[in-house]
A and B are shown apart, each in its own frame.
Chain A
Amino acid sequence: MGSTSTKIKLRTSDQKVFEVEKAVAVQSQTIKYIYENGCPDSVIHVHSVSGDILSKILDYCKKHVNSAAGKEDISPEELYEWDANFVKVDQNTLFDLILAANCLKIESLLDLTCQTVANMIKGKRPEEIRTTFNIKNDYTIEAEEAVRRENKWAFDMLGGVGTMVIEELADDTMSKCVTNTKSRVCVIAANQIVMMRSISKLANKKSIDVYKQPQNPTTPRIKESVKQRNVGTGFIELFFHFKCKM
């Protein structure tokens, strides 16, 4: 009862049975608890998870167990990429994975899947989030205004003097921000201010190519182009495209 080739049987909600190595199955804290507190020869019923989802989850667990145990020659970067590809699935599958990872208590998978959804939310406006996830807006106009006023600071992307901080200015960086036309945009990279523009000047142009030559030769040379479009109610959306040469 401790040998690594011990197998555990799992039965899913659609009556599929999976036989997996104990080391893989106990990545799930839930299964681990049940296995250690019950009869080791019986089949564990995973009622809330379907065969397809469990199959994917077991792939994940196996990959991570093998890489940690050194059975597979895979670098941390390659594992990270494997994880990134693992979550490239449709929304239904992604949410099923979240629920299953939560139920089976597989912390790293739960973090990975939740982070993926978080990335789909970050930086988006409420209308965009509703479209992405097909959510109905059930606010009345007055209620929506009240909540917007309460959280006004979150919508003033740049406030008075805006600061859009680009922390890693690699070649070919794209950044997007929503701002009002009264703001200025100040781009700071590596603690140096590399660009300051008044939005009202930008607002009249469709796109601008500006090449900034810094005084200090070690700072990056930035060629930036800005595209803007009106998104209504006094806000414009700016796409900054940086081409950077060190």
Chain B
Amino acid sequence: MKIEVSEMEERKGKGKIMCGTLDLSAHPLDCITLIISFTSPRDACRLSLVSTAFNSATESDAVWESFLPSQYQALIPSSLSFSSKKQLYLSLCENPLLIEAGRKSFWLERGSGKKCYMLSPRDLTII
């Protein structure tokens, strides 16, 4: 009885094997997304200039979701909505949020996605 890996491939919607360079049409989107998510937000934006195909890959929500901090949903006020995860990311960089009842202000450093906090005086203790 032969068992074939190819059935699983079809189910995953995998593209065909192609030797050679970073040909987006030959690589499954999740591979491209993974590669881009290992770079940085700054690199992802630069990548969008490489070719139009790369632009679509780098604009994808999957890529920007990986740059957002974990549990980011808890941080965003529910009144705000964004057209894409990239817009959400940029908003978190440009508009600091007040968290923890106004004791801390939080934003992301745009190039790397690192979390930045500013503490209010109420949060500091004098020893």
Interface range, A side: 35 or more
Within 8 A of B (CB), among A117-143: 117-119, 121-126, 129-130, 133-139, 143
A169 at the binding interface (Cβ < 8 Å): no
A95 contacts which of B6, B20, B51 (Cβ < 8 Å)?
B20
Q: How far is the CB of B33 from chain A (nearest CB, A)?
A: 9
Q: Is the CB–CB distance between A103 and B14 below 8 Å?
A: yes
Q: Is the CB–CB distance between B22 and A47 below 8 Å?
A: no
Q: How far is the CB of B95 from chain A (nearest CB, A)?
A: 15
A212 at the binding interface (Cβ < 8 Å): no
Cα(A135)–Cα(B52), bound, Å = 11
Known contacts A98-B31, A123-B43, A139-B49; 15 further A-B pairs (Cβ under 8 A):
A46-B5, A48-B17, A95-B20, A99-B27, A110-B31, A114-B38, A122-B43, A124-B43, A126-B46, A133-B22, A137-B50, A139-B51, A147-B48, A151-B48, A155-B46
Interface range, B side: 35 or more
Q: Mark B1-15, 1 if CB is under 8 A from A, else 0.
A: 111111011001010
Q: Is the CB–CB distance between B51 and A33 below 8 Å?
A: no
B119 at the binding interface (Cβ < 8 Å): no
A45 contacts which of B5, B35, B45, B110 (Cβ < 8 Å)?
B5
B39 at the binding interface (Cβ < 8 Å): yes
Q: Is the CB–CB distance between A102 and B28 below 8 Å?
A: yes
Residues of A within 8 A of B19 (CB): 92, 95-96
Interface residues of B (CB under 8 A from A): 1-6, 8-9, 12, 14, 17-22, 27-28, 30-31, 34-36, 38-43, 45-55, 110-111
| Of A16-24, A34-42, A63-71, A73-81, the one with at least 4 CB within 8 A of chain B | A34-42
Residues of B within 8 A of A96 (CB): 17, 19
Interface residues of A (CB under 8 A from B): 30-31, 33-34, 38-39, 42-48, 91-92, 95-96, 98-99, 102-104, 110-111, 114-115, 117-119, 121-126, 129-130, 133-139, 143-144, 147-148, 151, 153-155
Q: Is the CB–CB distance between A117 and B35 below 8 Å?
A: yes
Q: How far is the CB of A3 from chain B (nearest CB, A)?
A: 21
Q: How far is the CB of B92 from chain A (nearest CB, A)?
A: 14
Q: Which 7 A-B pairs have the closest CB atoms?
A: A118-B38, A154-B45, A151-B45, A126-B49, A133-B22, A47-B6, A38-B3
Cα(A121)–Cα(B35), bound, Å = 9
Residues of A within 8 A of B50 (CB): 126, 129-130, 135, 137
Residues of A within 8 A of B34 (CB): 110-111, 114
Name the residue on A nearest B49 (C-beta). Answer: A126
Among B17, B48, B55, chain A packs the most CB atoms within 10 A around the CB of B17
Of the A-B pairs whose beta carbons lie under 8 Å apart in the complex, a sample of 17, sorted by A's number, is A38-B1, A42-B3, A43-B2, A46-B5, A47-B9, A48-B6, A48-B9, A99-B28, A115-B38, A119-B38, A123-B43, A124-B43, A130-B51, A135-B22, A135-B51, A154-B43, A155-B46
